[in-house]
Amino acid sequence: MPGLESVSEWTRGYLGGTRDLLIGGEWVPAQSGRRFEVIDPASEDVIANVAEGAAADVDLAVKAARRAFESPAWARMPGAERARLIWALADRLEAEAEKIAELETLDNGMPIGVARGAVVPLSADVFRYMAGWATKLEGRTIPLDVPPQPDAEFFAYTLRQPIGVVGQIVPWNFPLFMTSWKVAPALATGCTIVLKPAEQTPLTALFLGELMTEVGFPDGVINVVPGFGETAGAALADHPDVDKVTFTGSTEVGRQIVRASAGNLKKVALELGGKSPNIVFDDADLPAAIAGSADAVFFNAGQNCVAGARLFVQEGAYDELVAGLAERAAALRVGPGLAPDSEVGPLVSAEQLERVTGYMGAATEEGAKLVAGGGRLGERGFFVEPTILTDVAPDMRFMREEIFGPVVGVTRFTDLDDLVARANDTAFGLAAGIWTRDVSRVHKLAPRLDVGTVWVNTYSLNASALPFGGFKQSGWGKELGEEGVSSYLQTKSVCIGL
């Protein structure tokens, strides 16, 4: 099994070095002196240890971020200079792509080809896109007609200003990519950041902090505090001097973030869970639908908030699609992310392995039929088989709760109205997929799906200019696009009597 011996000398040295907290431009140990181990999910080996931030460290980081936000070096920096720094950071991400890919694969388990070919270039693209917004944060002039004062004249305008100090809590499924979604627009708007990476995957966030200091961001603009959710994350959400907290993760933790934010009524943005419907009509290009539906749920070992875990197939296409999906699942190469031929890596942790296999067992106990997969692979590493279940009912726990693993439930449909009701019968509303050649059907169906994103004849396509975020219990607000930029700004009205 490929391990540390197969990565570069630089990566081995980085993992063996002292990985501390980045606060105010300095690398410092946690005030408690505590550290935690980072595990390679493919081998279960300890590959690094990292300073464990907690409330006291978060407080220092918030103070550093506040100083940076108010300092002329950042507060008065022209938008064009912020854009230059953000663009320079994107260039460094690409220049260090191999280092980043190795760290991301060891940390998260994803195939190295995904880290190289998708995570790094897509992250760099987000930074470049957001760099362009740094010079375009414009207000408006607003003509006023005030009835009680018909002869008075006023000049009114709006300013769009950065919210301030932002706490950002990122997930472990796409560590660098999800970090770019939050960090890039915050930088473009002039906010300062306290970043808490997931405790399972802190390595690329720490390396990003190094790159930001190297390209010239002022001290304290970015602060990186790895730690656990119940300590560092909770302290960040609760801190009275944080102006906004943004979180990507489970709906349960999202609720905790909302409660913690109430103290100073800080702004909250949440990108939470999903149980996305993926819909295949019998007129679809079935080979494309089979391949797309497999990617929708097996990509990144199913650890994807938009995973198409509820697959609805029209009666006429059902048998062919299930057979094709099962064949594809059986052919997928599951293995360590560092193995060049791996298509599906391990789950991120032992906890996640127990969760996913538990859902698999519960589904069959409730009457679902196992068509492919269904269990753990091997004795070492957190690998599970790509799994397909049929004969599923909408009230099964497996069909109602987010699994975050490579498991899909397939069900038939005939009537469009019944399909819409079943597709929307979930607490979540993150995304949906439609596979059909009928454009009229698409335009009729897409508005009826209670989700934030609808993909047609493709799945899980994210672009920097396209707003992303969910309905219902899948979250509040949008990331990416102009809406993602606006979420880090607040509008001030100015009215002058002439």
If asked whether residues 458 and 489 sit together in one domain, one would say no
- The pLDDT value recorded for residue 29 is 98
- Write the DSSP symbol of residue 217: P
How many domains is the chain built from?
2
Judge whether 217 lies within some domain.
yes
pLDDT in tens, 205-236: 999 999 999 999 999 999 999 999 999 999 99
The amino acid present at 124, given as its one-letter code, is A
Judge whether 189 lies within some domain.
yes
If asked whether residues 202 and 311 sit together in one domain, one would say no
Please report which helix (H) or strand (E) contains residue 496, including its range: strand 489-497
Contact 58, 235 (CB under 8 A): yes
If asked whether residues 122 and 168 sit together in one domain, one would say yes
Judge whether 257 lies within some domain.
yes
Q: How buried is 262 (Cβ within 10 angstroms: 0-12 exposed, 13-18 middle, 19+ buried)?
A: exposed
- The pLDDT value recorded for residue 423 is 97
Judge whether 298 lies within some domain.
yes
If asked whether residues 374 and 311 sit together in one domain, one would say yes
What's the chain's average pLDDT?
96
The amino acid present at 91, given as its one-letter code, is D
Is 271 part of the annotated catalytic residue set? yes
pLDDT band at residue 308 using 50, 70 and 90 as cut-offs: very high
Judge whether 469 lies within some domain.
no
The CATH code of the domain that includes 254 is 3.40.605.10
Domain that holds residue 138: 4-272+475-494
Catalytic residue among 52, 199, 305, 402: 305
If asked whether residues 260 and 373 sit together in one domain, one would say no
Provide the percentage of residues in the chain whose pLDDT is more than 70. 100
Judge whether 470 lies within some domain.
no
Q: What is the dihedral of CA 31, 34, 40, 45, to 10 degrees?
A: 150
pLDDT in tens, 90-120: 999 999 999 999 999 999 999 999 999 999 9
pLDDT in tens, 393-441: 999 999 999 999 999 999 999 989 999 999 999 999 999 999 999 999 9
Rounded CA-CA distance 436/283 in Å is: 6
Rounded CA-CA distance 302/407 in Å is: 7
Residue 19 pLDDT exceeds 70? yes
If asked whether residues 268 and 282 sit together in one domain, one would say no
The amino acid present at 19, given as its one-letter code, is R
The CATH code of the domain that includes 371 is 3.40.309.10
Rounded CA-CA distance 386/319 in Å is: 19
Provide the percentage of residues in the chain whose pLDDT is more than 90. 96
Judge whether 180 lies within some domain.
yes
- The pLDDT value recorded for residue 150 is 75
If asked whether residues 326 and 246 sit together in one domain, one would say no
Catalytic residue among 102, 104, 199, 271: 271
Residue 458 structure tokens: 């493709």
Residue 381 structure tokens: 């590493």
Contact 278, 293 (CB under 8 A): yes
Phi-psi region of 265 (alpha: psi -120 to 50; beta: other; left: phi over 0): left
Is 379 part of the annotated catalytic residue set? no
Contact 409, 426 (CB under 8 A): no
If asked whether residues 235 and 252 sit together in one domain, one would say yes
Rounded CA-CA distance 358/418 in Å is: 30
Contact 207, 103 (CB under 8 A): yes
**Helix, strand and coil percent figures for the chain, each rounded to 5:** 40, 20, 35
- The pLDDT value recorded for residue 1 is 61
If asked whether residues 366 and 259 sit together in one domain, one would say no
pLDDT band at residue 148 using 50, 70 and 90 as cut-offs: confident
CA 215 to chain centre: 25
The amino acid present at 215, given as its one-letter code, is V
Residues near 202 by beta carbon (within 8 Å), at least 6 away in sequence = 19, 38, 50, 107, 226
If asked whether residues 246 and 299 sit together in one domain, one would say no
Average confidence (pLDDT) over 183-209? 98
Contact 250, 402 (CB under 8 A): yes
Phi-psi region of 189 (alpha: psi -120 to 50; beta: other; left: phi over 0): alpha
If asked whether residues 166 and 236 sit together in one domain, one would say yes
If asked whether residues 243 and 318 sit together in one domain, one would say no
Name the pairing type of β-strands 471-472 and 369-372: unpaired
pLDDT in tens, 452-489: 999 999 999 999 999 999 999 999 999 999 999 999 99
- The pLDDT value recorded for residue 412 is 96
Judge whether 364 lies within some domain.
yes
- Write the DSSP symbol of residue 174: S
DSSP track, 313-378 = EEGGGHHHHHHHHHHHHHH--B--TTSTT-SB---S-HHHHHHHHHHHHHHHHTTPEEEE--SEES
- Write the DSSP symbol of residue 150: T
